[in-house]
Amino acid sequence: MSKSASQNLLYQVAFTMLPNVGSMVAKNLIAYCGSPEAVFKTSKQKLLKIPLVGEERAESIVKADLLKEAEQELKFIEDFKIKTFFFTEEDYPARLKPLVDNPILLYYKGDADLNAPKTVGIVGTRKCTDYGKEITKKIVAELAAHDVMIISGLAYGIDIAAHNAALENNLKTVGVLAHGLNTLYPAQHKPAAKRMVAQGGLLTEYKSLDEMRTHNFPQRNRIVAGLCDAVIVVESAIKGGAVITANIANSYNKDVFSLPGRATDKVSAGCNFLIKTYKASLIENGNDLLEAMRWNTDGTSKKQTKQQRLPLLDLADDEKAIYSLLSEKGEVEIDKLVQETGMNSSLLAASLLEMEMNGIIVSLPGKRYKLI
């Protein structure tokens, strides 16, 4: 790592240590000051002019002495060859970038591309049944031919069943942790985690200096949901963490699927509830997911349509950008449209709706769009 890159990362780490600075405030600080280093060097008077900062936060930023702590973390990062992603950087995971509550800084140990073309989160209860483990294994095996990356939380039960099935089927799999990369919980999953570093990775927003706290676990669920194109809930109680992940995924406009269970089974109460309340689509196997996400097509018809298509001249500039991208790529998911067009999500959504109403595009399962 070059000296300038090391200095930049040092301030990024220190920035995440600022007390009472959540995602929204952090983004305002960077937007107004330009960089983490600039935040620490901005006067209190100027900080007070930034929305949501206020007197108390401005005072704590000016008085902050966090570089020594940040240096400890930087040493850990360098010693263990950990990759980092700051939310303003180009290599920050594309699916997380448009989310309002995305992590400011991510720590990653692994070799998998976090922008893999197809990603599925598989979540469920820690106290799963043998059936839950077997159906998870079956689903992952059915996804193997389509090179789908499997994401979960490395917890007991369904999580570890999904990771192990991915490893067995030579699929990349990423575990999103609720603690720093200096430890692993539960410790029994260390053998799987070691294999995942070589065939996927471990990802977290927590530093090695952070204490492991109970509320970290539901907090990390938003990263699982955000990194995925789709989330599958295998078994979950009505108030399980998997249901939380499913609700977060819905708020991110991700596709959510659930396996039904018997009405009397507590481990299926959450799954049945998601289906009953239209928060998840019912699937029975991996092929159902592939069909819903349109991942089992060969793309031949896309090429033929692209060659025959003529440009439209009566579109607004934003619509032309969308049209050109869809004409070139065929079917494109909404996260990719945000990334490629540079449009904010609300403007993009309005343009897509207008184009759909005018019969120019059609929306597909998986939050994908294509030209008619």
Domains and CATH numbers, the chain: 3-77 (1.10.150.20), 109-293 (3.40.50.450), 300-371 (1.10.10.10)
Q: What is the pLDDT of residue 311?
A: 46
SS3 content of the chain, % helix, strand, coil (to 5): 50, 15, 40
pLDDT cut 90: percent of the chain above it? 71
79-93 burial: b if 16+ Cβ within 10 Å, else e:
eeebebbbbeeeebb
pLDDT at 254: 93
pLDDT at residue 306 in the model: 37
- pLDDT tens-digit profile of 86-118? 999 999 999 999 998 999 999 999 999 999 999
**Widest distance between CA atoms in the chain:** 63
Comparing CA positions, the residue from 352, 355, 371 lying closest to residue 301 is 371
User: CA dist 176 to 3, 115, 164, 193, Å?
Assistant: 30, 15, 15, 11
Q: How far apart are CA 12 and CA 24, in angstroms?
A: 16
pLDDT value for 193: 97
Q: What pLDDT is recorded for position 344? A: 84
Under a CB-based contact definition with an 8 Å cutoff, are residues 171 and 198 in contact?
A: no
Q: Which residues contact 194 (CB under 8 A, 6 or more apart)?
A: none
- 181 to 177, 211, 324, 356: CA distances (angstroms): 8, 12, 42, 45
C-alpha distances (whole Å) from 4 to each of 191, 352, 361 are 36, 41, 46
C-beta contacts of 267-270 below 8 A and 24+ residues apart: 267/125, 267/127, 267/128, 267/129, 267/132, 267/235, 267/236, 267/237, 268/235, 268/236, 269/236, 269/237, 269/238, 270/125, 270/233, 270/235, 270/236, 270/237, 270/238, 270/239, 270/240, 270/242, 270/243, 270/246
Residue 199 pLDDT: 97
Can you give the pTM of this predicted structure? 0.80
Residue ranges in the chain modelled with pLDDT below 70: 298-314
What does DSSP assign to residue 302? H
| pLDDT given at position 314 | 65
pLDDT score at 303: 33
Q: For residue 273, how many C-alpha atoms fall within 13 Å in the half-sphere facing its CB?
A: 18
Report the chain's mean pLDDT, rounded to a whole number: 90
